[in-house]
Amino acid sequence: MTRDELLKAYNDIFVIKHPFVKHKLTSLRDKNTSTREFRMLVEELGTLIGYEATRDLETHDIEIETPLEKAMCPVLKGKKLCIVTIMRAGNGLAEGVLKLSPSARVGHVGLYRDPETKQPVEYYLKMPHSVNERTIIVVDPMLATGNSAIMAIDKMKEMGASDIRFICLFAAPEGIEAFKKAHPDVAMYIGSIDRGLDENAYIRPGVGDAGDRIYGTR
């Protein structure tokens, strides 16, 4: 499916159109952007897109006392958020989302892509308690084939999670289509839907390997 067909087919794919997001995504794409700046941009984008992904969280009123009087004011309802990072590239994005809710729990899913099969292989999984009672935000800068995100969300659902959202910076139409076929109930918050995948399953035009660019590795 094309970008436009995907957006028509699903009403819970949100491409963030804020000018700051567009500007920072362009800076990420630039091959001359330094490791330090790249890392900072990913974190900033995590905060900006995380804001959009959490705008419908439920609140309830509690009584507090201001310096002048008592008042009923809104606070987040229920258990705190759980931000789940698909390691290792997702870690930088998770730090940005954490700025919105520093008390959020953080889960880690370690996956790497087999260079021959292009399929994800799990090597680590660590989650906080009460996953089934939390709003889960899974983060990964890149959604290429979609296989890693699908596997990570499979794990969350196996643990009983039902309120799950997914954040990424760059996505290929092929990955979005596969993701929505596997998890039609999971809303997606995306910085940019790019042209597509090349023969090596890299997003084009993309940014290259996000993990390598965040950490200065090859």
Kindly report the length of the chain: 218
**How far out from the chain centre does Cα 14 lie?**
12
208 labelled as ligand-binding? yes
148 labelled as ligand-binding? yes
147 labelled as ligand-binding? yes
Cβ(56)–Cβ(14) under 8 Å? no
26 labelled as ligand-binding? no
Q: Rounded to an integer, what distance in angstroms lies between the CA atom of residue 209 and that of residue 188?
A: 21
34 labelled as ligand-binding? no
141 labelled as ligand-binding? yes
* Whole-number CA gyration radius for the chain: 18
- The per-residue b/e assignment along 37-54, b for 16 or more CB within 10 angstroms, e otherwise, is ebbbbbbbbbebbbbbbb
88 labelled as ligand-binding? yes
29 labelled as ligand-binding? no
Residue found under tokens 């499916």: 1
Q: Rounded to an integer, what distance in angstroms lies between the CA atom of residue 177 and that of residue 2?
A: 9
145 labelled as ligand-binding? yes
Which one-letter amino acid corresponds to residue 71? A
113 labelled as ligand-binding? yes
Residue 204's CB is within 10 A of a number of other CB atoms, namely: 11
For residue 167, which of 153, 182, 155, 154 has the smallest C-alpha distance? 153
Cβ(79)–Cβ(130) under 8 Å? yes
Residues placed in the known binding site for 5-phospho-alpha-D-ribose 1-diphosphate: 88, 113, 140-148, 209
Residues placed in the known binding site for uracil: 203, 208-210
Residues placed in the known binding site: 88, 113, 140-148, 203, 208-210
